[in-house]
Amino acid sequence: MTENVTVKTLARELNVSIATVSKALNDSHEISIETKQKVLALAKKLKYERNPSASNLRSQKTKTIAVIVPEIANSFFSLAINGIEEIARKRDYHVLIYQTHENSEIETAFTESLVCGRVDGILISISSSTNSSSHFKSLVKKIPVVFFDRALDDIDAIKVTTDDYQSAYQATLHLIENGCKNIAYLSALSKLDTGKKRIQGYFDALKNKGLSFNKGLMVTHDPDRDKTYNRIKNLLIIQKPDAIISSVEEMVIPAYNACKALDLRIPDDVKILSFSNLSTAALLNPSLTTITQPAFEIGQEAAGFLFKLLDKKYITTEEIPVMKSVLIKRDSTSGHT
Amino acid sequence: MTENVTVKTLARELNVSIATVSKALNDSHEISIETKQKVLALAKKLKYERNPSASNLRSQKTKTIAVIVPEIANSFFSLAINGIEEIARKRDYHVLIYQTHENSEIETAFTESLVCGRVDGILISISSSTNSSSHFKSLVKKIPVVFFDRALDDIDAIKVTTDDYQSAYQATLHLIENGCKNIAYLSALSKLDTGKKRIQGYFDALKNKGLSFNKGLMVTHDPDRDKTYNRIKNLLIIQKPDAIISSVEEMVIPAYNACKALDLRIPDDVKILSFSNLSTAALLNPSLTTITQPAFEIGQEAAGFLFKLLDKKYITTEEIPVMKSVLIKRDSTSGHT
DNA sequence: GCAATTCACTTAAACGTATTCGTAAATAAA
DNA sequence: TTTATTTACGAATACGTTTAAGTGAATTGC
């Protein structure tokens, strides 16, 4: 192992001080153009690489942001991360990714391991099992944080979300217009803003169209996949709904499977639609009607705001957009031919 | 902003030296149990958090590994990352994720920004556009690296891969047994080991079963999605294959779409199978026969080996397993009923 | 009983960079 | 010419941690 090349090496070689080298590398105005060129040239020649730890320690900046999401293996989040990453790359920032697997203790542990200067800022979409906001309240005081998609209403912070109420309302309306009268709802994220608004949109659409709702029509998500599947199956057997709205992508696959198992035809016996960013939605059997969120753009927006915070720019509430989801109608909710 | 609590704060408060505090926090045997307890107690009380930059700088360890993949929004890679992340979390390591988007220049830039001590080790699955191994050769000399799934044959490093040859061979055989005689191949990764072996398996199966091959049956992947789609469409029109093997997940969706556009029935007119980890494969129309790689386990294995390297343990070639993919037969390749 | 060892702790020096402050020379202003 | 300002650089320090080396006291060995 040859000796590491540091600013000291460059300084020695060029007969200047390490301060000069450091300033030259940071393109300081205090250094003449000729000296800068000399330094840069030698740095390139000796393949000098700035030591990030030392730099971070001194400057108290890490050029790194953290992204905390429930799960990467989820089309919405992987697309959102793509959006975040695009913005981060433009600013030469590194991206640290953490998955909570919907576990709020892991979530807390992650955030706590981050506040002490490992990252400059955090982008987070909170876990479905999180029900207390106190931890996040103290977090946002310590470090720039932007929430995306999943947030809690009593936290005063920047949140980039979608029009969950509107899109759930619209989706329910779509089913009603196609003749459904007994619409079930697969519920998740009910502790979060996101989930609450989606349910409310569903409720209000039912009410405004004079449809009744009974508790049995609501099935909640369980971390245990089999449980979720069985709940959906029971729903289909007992309530015999003519439509199902899935509030999350993870519940629509078991819904399809349950229909298959019970020999129920989609959309003839039961129509199904789901909040989803599945790339294969159009190719499913039958093709799935989705409420698709602009995942990539949400990532971009959220990252954009985080960088504004890092730049100490003031952000007004009005400039934070509510992103628009789109209802893509496909065969799984089509009316009778 | 209140003053940051550092080892110095703790030392002052307890009337001991900062060395004692540091050692106590690191559970050094040089420190008495009582002192350790006192330090830990105060650290907890004052919410002391070790500064990672300072720690990294001094100890030359970052407790961070990098994962470089072509794309997160790909079932295989997101699952592999899950496997990696599981192992990393057990060791309290952080995971930095980089996407190359199949661009080898971005790939090079990333690796170069990492060698100077930002991470302790790298897990990488190389981009399809990478054709020179020279850069990686120098990389593995500087920092522990483990390749997974996608590797180049002339690099001497640890590689966790699957039985690409075997599974492509078996898949081709499956189609031949179901009566196919004119089997097309959607090729990707042809510069990498992975791709080469898959093609070879396909070739050998054809040859061993006395089937001919013509160049027209091979369609190569293009970064431009429309181009890929059109190439597949042309293939179907001109060559009229009775089966298609897709060597990557990204090409099977356009294949399905092309069939739809041309009114070709799957599997009656053309059978399709693909290397894929799509969670919705069973729900597609028709359900898709896949060669599914043990993505999660590959991630685990690769991360395991990286940590062995970090622990300076010697790794013998024999202990590196070749992971087994599995051919899951579904409707898209079923024979006539 | 005295040397050798162990114990528990301290001193001091790193790790590599960024930055404040100082300064000598060069230039501009008066 | 004298003074003020700018330019281009250097000395020194700080960031917060880890660790090699050293130290005095207590314990052990023979």
pLDDT tens readout for residues A71-103: 999 999 999 999 999 999 999 999 999 999 999
Does the structure show a pLDDT above 90 at A128? yes
**Cβ-proximal residues to B61 (8 Å cutoff; 6+ apart), any chain:** B55, B120
Mean pLDDT of B152-158: 92
A126: closest CA among A142, A103, A156, A144? A103
Instruction: Give B2's pLDDT tier (boundaries 50, 70, 90).
Output: low
**Cβ-proximal residues to A23 (8 Å cutoff; 6+ apart), any chain:** A30, A31
For residue B336, the model assigns a pLDDT of 61
Distance from C-alpha of B315 to C-alpha of A325, rounded to nearest angstrom = 50
* Strand runs labelled E in chain B: 64-69, 94-99, 121-124, 145-148, 158-160, 183-187, 218-220, 243-246, 271-275, 289-292, 326-328
| Bridge partners, A245 (sequence order) | A185, A273
Å: A54 CA to C17 C1': 5
Instruction: Give B115's pLDDT tier (boundaries 50, 70, 90).
Output: confident
Distance from CA of B323 to the nearest CA of A (A): 21
List alpha helices for chain A, DSSP H: 7-14, 18-25, 33-45, 52-59, 75-90, 104-114, 134-142, 164-177, 193-208, 225-238, 252-261, 295-310
What tokens appear for A60 in the block?
A: 């108290």
Q: Give me the phi and psi of B162, to 5 degrees please.
A: -110, 175
Q: Does A284 touch chain B (CB under 8 A)?
A: yes
B76: closest CA among B188, B199, B212? B188
Segment B52-101, tens digit of pLDDT:
999 999 999 999 999 999 999 999 999 999 999 999 999 999 999 999 99
Spatial contact of A267 and A301, defined as CB atoms under 8 Å apart: no
Å: B246 CA to C26 C1': 72
Sort strands A243-246 and A218-220 into parallel, antiparallel or unpaired: unpaired
Segment A170-220, tens digit of pLDDT:
999 999 999 999 999 999 999 999 999 999 999 999 999 999 888 999 999
Q: Does B93 touch chain A (CB under 8 A)?
A: no
Detail the protein residues whose CB sits closer than 7 A to any atom belonging to strand D.
A 15-20, 30-32, 34-35, 54, 57-58; B 4, 6-8, 18-19, 22-23, 25-26, 30, 48-51, 54-55, 57-59
Q: Does B279 touch chain A (CB under 8 A)?
A: yes
Segment A134-182, tens digit of pLDDT:
999 999 999 999 999 999 999 999 999 999 999 999 999 999 999 999 9
Does the structure show a pLDDT above 50 at A1? no
CATH number at A164-292+326-333: 3.40.50.2300
Which nucleotides of strand D are protein-proximal, with an atom < 7 A from a CB? 7-12, 14-21
Domain limits, CATH 3.40.50.2300, in chain A: 64-162+295-319, 164-292+326-333
Does the structure show a pLDDT above 70 at B337? no
Å: B30 CA to C14 C1': 20
Q: Which residue shows structure tokens 């395991």?
A: B304
For residue B4, the model assigns a pLDDT of 83
Nearest protein residue to C20's C1' (by CA)? A19
**Cβ-proximal residues to B17 (8 Å cutoff; 6+ apart), any chain:** B11
- CB count, 10 Å around CB of A238? 9
The burial class, CB within 10 Å (0-12 / 13-18 / 19+), for B336 is exposed
For residue A261, the model assigns a pLDDT of 94
Domain limits, CATH 1.10.260.40, in chain B: 7-50
Distance from CA of A173 to the nearest CA of B (A): 26
B278:A283 CB<8 A: no
What tokens appear for A257 in the block?
A: 């499977």
Does the structure show a pLDDT above 70 at A65? yes
With H, G, I as helix, E, B as strand and everything else as coil, classify residue B246.
strand
Sort strands B121-124 and B64-69 into parallel, antiparallel or unpaired: parallel
Distance from C-alpha of B196 to C-alpha of B190, rounded to nearest angstrom = 5
Q: Percent of chain A, pLDDT > 70?
A: 99
Distance from CA of B66 to the nearest CA of A (A): 9
**Could you tell me which chain B residue has the CA closest to the CA of A73?**
B78
Distance from C-alpha of A184 to C-alpha of A273, rounded to nearest angstrom = 11
**Helix-, strand-, coil-residue percentages of chain B, each rounded to 5:** 45, 15, 40
| Bridge partners, B96 (sequence order) | A96, B66
Distance from C-alpha of B266 to C-alpha of B178, rounded to nearest angstrom = 13
Report the CATH fold assignment for B7-50. 434 Repressor (Amino-terminal Domain) (1.10.260)
The burial class, CB within 10 Å (0-12 / 13-18 / 19+), for A74 is buried
A51:B116 CB<8 A: yes
Q: Long-range pairs for B170-173 at CB < 8 Å and ≥24 separation?
A: B170/B201, B170/B205, B170/B291, B170/B327, B171/B201, B171/B202, B171/B245, B171/B273, B171/B291, B171/B327, B172/B201, B172/B202, B172/B205, B172/B206, B172/B245, B173/B205, B173/B209
Does the structure show a pLDDT above 90 at B3? no
Q: Please report, in angstroms and rounded to a whole number, the separation of the first and last CA atoms in chain B.
A: 74
How many angstroms separate the Cα of B143 from the Cα of each of A17, B6, B99, B120?
30, 31, 19, 7
Distance from CA of A310 to the nearest CA of B (A): 16
CATH class of A64-162+295-319: alpha beta
B280:A285 CB<8 A: no
B53:A53 CB<8 A: yes
Does the structure show a pLDDT above 90 at A69? yes
B73:A52 CB<8 A: no
DSSP state of B322: P
- Chain A residues in contact with B258 by the CB 8 A cut-off are none
What's the order of all strands across the beta sheet hosting A271-275? A218-220, A183-187, A243-246, A271-275, A289-292, A326-328
Instruction: Give A2's pLDDT tier (boundaries 50, 70, 90).
Output: low
Q: Does B46 touch chain A (CB under 8 A)?
A: no
Distance from C-alpha of B162 to C-alpha of B177, rounded to nearest angstrom = 24
| Bridge partners, A323 (sequence order) | A162
With H, G, I as helix, E, B as strand and everything else as coil, classify residue B74.
coil
Least CB–CB distance from B285: residue in A56, A113, A286 = A286
A78:B78 CB<8 A: yes
Does the structure show a pLDDT above 60 at B1? no
Q: Percent of chain B, pLDDT > 70?
A: 99
- Chain B residues in contact with A115 by the CB 8 A cut-off are 49
What tokens appear for A141 in the block?
A: 């005081």
Domain limits, CATH 3.40.50.2300, in chain B: 64-162+295-319, 164-293+326-333
Distance from C-alpha of A316 to C-alpha of B181, rounded to nearest angstrom = 65
CATH number at B164-293+326-333: 3.40.50.2300
B53:A56 CB<8 A: yes
Spatial contact of B187 and B220, defined as CB atoms under 8 Å apart: yes
Q: Which helix (H) or strand (E) holds B111?
A: helix B104-114
Å: B13 CA to D15 C1': 21
